[in-house]
């Protein structure tokens, strides 16, 4: 028996190890080992038996116990005693909190109907049960429905338009590649464990490219870094296709057998993307484009790992669609180690509808796009939003158009409930705050979107204070609202058992005993002779689309007259607005900074490390300036989503991002914004 297994099994052990999973919105879903002493998590490390994450944790999670047992954890429900946003609250009991909520909701339903209530949730926890715990409740209530589109719907749509339901390649396949392209992904921050495989491929002789808008920390892993103009990747992919065809580097047998519509693409689209035009659009020299096409076209098995950033543009779905089409031209989808990995969709592994219970909805209720929260709280009528229930999300800082979101949250007539682990910026605007458990205190079932691993967890420690999980909180609210369906009386474990009892081809061969024991197991990707599209081929031409062929669409910000394009990028030391509770991690970020090229700083008389104000028509945000050669001229980079109380000014980065949506699926457009910058001196700072 492995010594770890021994330790976990050893009940006499004074510091038992418990298995768990990192609950955060990260593709890796690391396996955790938690050391527990006297009911407290004292240390957290990576599970060496996890086949994808292999015992390594990113810097954010090395002290998860500091989050779990943070002195700032909310431990009782709270009722507001001061103005919204001030953070003045008094502790109340759960009973009082639930009475307050149910009473107010009943009155709102009487006057305006249940659609005046809007749930808002996203990615604080990724477990299938806790993440989706509110769905059955709000369907049953008849509340407005939230379209959960803040993250990657345009990316999903882009993949689907070309590949249908074809599963993504296994991440370990990258080891067999001879050309790895990290395309719009800061993997050092957001997909660290994928880099194991990339390094292994490198050892075996592969070249690694990074295609981004600035030199991120991932540049250290790359042999070549290509910096493109923000939002121009679709043009780059079409330009590469043009050159592959011009230079005779196409895989004709593969195109004939496995691909639909290459002739149409070749005749109607590719002639419009000669290297000179693509160079003007992307900022890459013609010679660079030619070399890229030559290397890509002669690689044995080129592998693209595609990030999400480049899908958060007005042209995001089309850009992804175009990039996903590229490997088809060289037959890379038919080669082990080749192709494109967007994300590992595992939605068919579990019957998630058994958790979400859309069938509880008695009539189709209003849909509200979560990227339009500002609009929904300030302008939406028939009925106006009178109550907001936020759980495992922090829209006051993560949602676009912060000024409008905060204006909405300030409304005295809006009844806001926030279920949280911390008094976040959003919680500060609540009328009632409910304390949430951390992942170590609950049961759940995890899938991953960067690997095919799944894992079941059980509580490693008791709930901190009076905190309750999402699932248990909705059970209380269901009771208070008089929902009698036995569904709401199940425990999270009952529901997990139910999910596991329903068969899926993805789980046919897994070791169920291991899974039950909390160990990680891998799903088997069902194999198929053809691609998961209606035609069974890769659809360069997709006749079901209003635009059957790809093309380049300019992003919104290309038409704006402010000179800098704002990158709202991830940082190594936080995950969206999570981890800002840990001061050591904040310090490692070195403050809320804006990165600018020396020329841009000089042109504006900006001094390194001094406060500067980035502005556009939506708002103004104060940052500390970092002058850096890592950023090309014309680009400004703001990493991280800081809490308002930690900002050098009154607002954080999303006061500069708009509520505009992607070309498909209503996605967010965080990266598609223009700003200018001026010194903060003279502004009374």
Ligand X SMILES: Nc1nc2c(c(=O)[nH]1)N[C@H]1C(S)=C(S)[C@@H](COP(=O)(O)OP(=O)(O)OC[C@H]3O[C@@H](n4cnc5c(=O)[nH]c(N)nc54)[C@H](O)[C@@H]3O)O[C@H]1N2
In the complex, which residues of this chain contact ligand X (CB under 6 A)?
25-26, 122-125, 130, 150-152, 183-186, 189-190, 211-214, 216, 228, 230-231, 233, 307-310, 391-394, 398, 419-422, 424, 436-437, 470, 567-572, 574-578, 641, 653-654, 670-671
Residue 29 interacting partner from ligand SF4, Mo ion, ligand X, none (CB closer than 5 to 8 Å by kind): ligand SF4
Q: How many residues bind Mo ion (CB under 5 A)?
A: 1
Tell me how far CA of residue 94 lies from CA of 69, 75, 491, in angstroms.
21, 11, 19
212 contact choice in ligand X, ligand SF4, Mo ion, none (CB below 5 to 8 Å, kind-dependent): ligand X
Judged by CB under 5 A, does residue 154 bind Mo ion? no
Decide if residue 195 touches ligand SF4 (CB under 6 A): no
By CB under 6 A, residue 594 contacts ligand SF4: no
Residue 401: is the preceding peptide bond cis (ω within 30°)? no
DSSP secondary structure letters along 545-558 = SSS-S------GGG
| Residue closer to Mo ion, measured from CB, 177 or 308 | 308
Which one of Mo ion, ligand SF4, ligand X, none is in contact with 446 (Cβ closer than 5 to 8 A by kind)? none
Sign of the torsion angle spanned by Cα atoms 518, 519, 520, 522: negative
Query: How many CB atoms lie under 10 A from the CB of residue 325?
Result: 29
**Would you say the C-alpha torsion 579, 24, 233, 547 has a positive or negative sign?**
negative
Under the binding rule (CB under 6 A), the answer on residue 28 touching ligand SF4 is yes
Q: At what angle do helices 492-501 and 470-480 cross, to 10 degrees?
A: 110
Select from ligand SF4, ligand X, Mo ion, none the partner in contact with residue 192, using the beta carbon and a kind-dependent cut-off of 5 to 8 Å. Answer: ligand SF4
Query: Looking at 78-86, 144-152, 359-367, 672-680, which segment touches Mo ion (CB under 5 A)?
Result: 144-152
Residue 22 binding partner per list ligand SF4, Mo ion, ligand X, none, with a CB distance cut-off of 5 to 8 Å that depends on partner kind: ligand SF4
Rounded least distance, CB 575 to ligand SF4, Å = 6
Distance CA 205, CA 549 (A): 36
Of residues 19, 50, 60, 305, which one binds ligand SF4 by CB under 6 A? 60
Q: Quick one: what does residue 500 bind among Mo ion, ligand SF4, ligand X, none, with the CB cut-off 5 to 8 Å set by partner type? A: none
Phi, psi of 106 (to 5 degrees): -60, -45
C-alpha distances (whole Å) from 660 to each of 151, 308, 452 are 14, 17, 33
Short-list 420, 448, 408, CA closest to 193: 448
Q: Which one, of 567, 548, 553, 532, lies nearest residue 662 by Cα?
A: 553
What tokens were used for 460?
A: 């490693």
Q: Does 423 bind Mo ion (CB under 5 A)?
A: no
Q: Near ligand SF4 by CB under 6 A, which window of 19-27, 207-215, 269-277, 542-550?
A: 19-27
Does residue 189 bind ligand SF4 (CB under 6 A)? Answer: no
Q: Shortest approach of ligand SF4 to residue 51 CB, angstroms?
A: 14
Integer-rounded Cα radius of gyration of the chain: 25
Using the minimum distance from each CB to ligand SF4, give the nearer residue, 475 or 572.
572
Measured from the CB of residue 191, what is the shortest distance to ligand SF4 in angstroms?
A: 8
**Range in contact with ligand SF4 (rule: CB under 6 A) among 51-59, 252-260, 455-463, 582-590:** 51-59
Strands across the sheet containing 302-306: 224-227, 207-212, 179-183, 302-306, 339-341
Nearer to ligand X, 313 or 452 (CB): 313
Residue from 488, 459, 449 nearest 472 by CA: 488
| Residue nearest to ligand X according to CB distances in the complex | 124
Residue that is written with structure tokens 């406060």 in the block = 611
Burial code (b: 16+ CB inside 10 Å, e: under 16) for 232-270 equals bbbbbbbbbbbbbbeeebbbeebbeebbbbbeebbeebb
Residue 641 in the binding site for ligand SF4 (CB under 6 A): no
Sort 557 into a burial class: Cβ within 10 Å, 0-12 / 13-18 / 19+: buried
Instruction: Return the residue of 29, 373, 376, 675 that touches ligand SF4, per CB under 6 A.
Output: 29
Interacting residue with Mo ion among 114, 151, 189, 329 (CB under 5 A): 151
Query: Does residue 495 touch Mo ion according to CB under 5 A?
Result: no
DSSP letters along 208-258, please?
EEEEESS--GGGGG-SEEEE--TT-HHHHHHHHHHHHHHTT---HHHHHHH
The option from ligand SF4, Mo ion, ligand X, none interacting with 623 (CB < 5 to 8 A, set by class) reads none
Would you call 498 helix, strand, or coil by DSSP? Answer: helix
Residue with smaller CB distance to ligand X, 29 or 385: 29
Distance in angstroms (rounded) separating the CA atoms of residues 30 and 45: 10
Span interacting with ligand SF4, options 21-29, 91-99, 212-220, 553-561, rule CB under 6 A: 21-29
Contact 671, 312 (CB under 8 A): yes
From 23-31, 34-42, 109-117, 330-338, give the range in contact with ligand SF4 by CB under 6 A.
23-31
Q: Does residue 24 belong to the site contacting ligand SF4 (CB under 6 A)?
A: yes
- Residue numbers at the binding site for ligand SF4 (CB under 6 A): 22, 24, 26, 28-30, 53, 57-58, 60-61, 192, 575
């Amino acid at each position: 028996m492995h010594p770890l297994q021994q330790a976990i099994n050893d009940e006499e052990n004074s510091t038992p190890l418990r298995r768990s999973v990192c609950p955060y919105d990260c593709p890796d879903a690391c396996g955790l080992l938690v050391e527990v002493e006297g009911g407290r998590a004292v240390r957290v490390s990576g599970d060496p038996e996890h086949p994808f994450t292999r015992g390594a944790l990113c810097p954010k999670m090395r002290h998860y116990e500091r989050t779990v047992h943070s002195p700032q954890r909310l431990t009782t429900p709270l009722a507001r005693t001061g103005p919204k946003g001030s953070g003045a609250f008094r502790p109340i009991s759960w009973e009082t909190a639930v009475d307050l909520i149910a009473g107010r909701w009943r009155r709102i339903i009487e006057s305006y109907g249940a659609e005046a209530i809007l749930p808002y949730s996203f990615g604080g926890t990724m477990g299938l049960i806790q993440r989706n715990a509110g769905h059955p409740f709000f369907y049953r209530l008849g509340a407005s429905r939230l379209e959960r589109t803040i993250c990657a719907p345009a990316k999903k749509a882009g993949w689907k338009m070309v590949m249908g339901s074809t599963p993504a390649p296994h991440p370990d396949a990258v080891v067999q590649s001879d050309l790895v392209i990290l395309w719009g992904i800061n993997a050092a921050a957001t997909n660290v464990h994928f880099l194991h495989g990339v390094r292994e491929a490198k050892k075996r002789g592969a070249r690694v490219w990074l295609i981004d808008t600035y030199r991120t920390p991932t540049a250290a892993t790359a042999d070549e870094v290509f910096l493109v103009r923000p939002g121009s990747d679709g043009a780059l992919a079409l330009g590469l296709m043009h050159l592959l065809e011009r230079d005779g580097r196409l895989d004709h047998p593969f195109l004939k057998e496995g691909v639909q519509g290459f002739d149409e693409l070749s005749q109607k689209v590719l002639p419009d993307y000669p290297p000179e035009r693509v160079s003007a659009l992307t900022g890459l020299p013609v010679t660079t484009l030619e070399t890229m096409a030559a290397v890509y076209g002669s690689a044995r098995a080129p592998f693209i790992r595609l990030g999400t950033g480049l899908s958060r543009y007005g042209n995001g779905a089309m850009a992804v669609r175009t990039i996903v089409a590229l490997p088809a031209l060289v037959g890379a989808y038919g080669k082990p180690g080749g192709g494109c990995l967007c994300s590992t969709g595992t939605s068919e592994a579990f019957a998630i509808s058994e958790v979400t219970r859309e069938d509880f909805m008695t009539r189709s209720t209003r849909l509200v796009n979560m990227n339009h929260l500002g609009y929904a709280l300030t302008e939406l009528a028939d009925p106006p939003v009178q109550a907001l229930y936020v759980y495992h999300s922090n829209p006051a800082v993560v949602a676009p158009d912060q000024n409008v979101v905060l204006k909405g949250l300030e409304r005295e007539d809006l009844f806001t409930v926030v279920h949280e682990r911390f008094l976040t910026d959003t919680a500060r605007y609540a009328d009632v705050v409910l304390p949430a458990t951390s992942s170590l205190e609950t049961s759940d079932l995890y899938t991953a979107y960067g690997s095919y691993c799944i894992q079941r967890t059980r509580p490693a420690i008791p709930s901190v204070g009076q905190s309750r999980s999402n699932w248990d909180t909705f059970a209380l609210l269901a009771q208070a609202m008089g929902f009698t369906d036995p569904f709401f009386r199940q425990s999270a474990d009952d529901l997990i058992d139910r999910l596991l009892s329903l068969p899926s081809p993805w789980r046919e061969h897994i070791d169920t005993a291991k899974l039950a024991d909390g160990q990680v197991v891998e799903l088997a990707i069902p194999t198929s002779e053809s691609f998961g599209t209606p035609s069974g081929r890769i659809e360069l031409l997709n006749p079901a689309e209003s635009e059957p062929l790809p093309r380049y669409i300019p992003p919104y910000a290309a038409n704006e007259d402010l000179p800098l394009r704002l990158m709202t990028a991830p940082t190594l030391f936080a995950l969206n607005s999570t981890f800002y509770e840990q001061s050591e991690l904040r310090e490692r970020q070195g403050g809320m900074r804006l990165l600018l090229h020396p020329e841009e700083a000089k042109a504006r008389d900006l001094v390194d490390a001094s406060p500067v104000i980035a502005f556009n028509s939506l708002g103004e945000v104060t940052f500390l300036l970092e002058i850096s050669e890592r950023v090309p001229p014309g680009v400004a980079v703001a990493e991280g989503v800081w809490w308002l109380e930690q900002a050098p000014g009154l607002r954080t980065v999303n006061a500069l991002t708009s509520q505009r949506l992607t070309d498909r699926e209503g996605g967010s457009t965080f990266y598609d914004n223009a700003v200018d910058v001026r010194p903060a001196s003279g502004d009374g700072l």
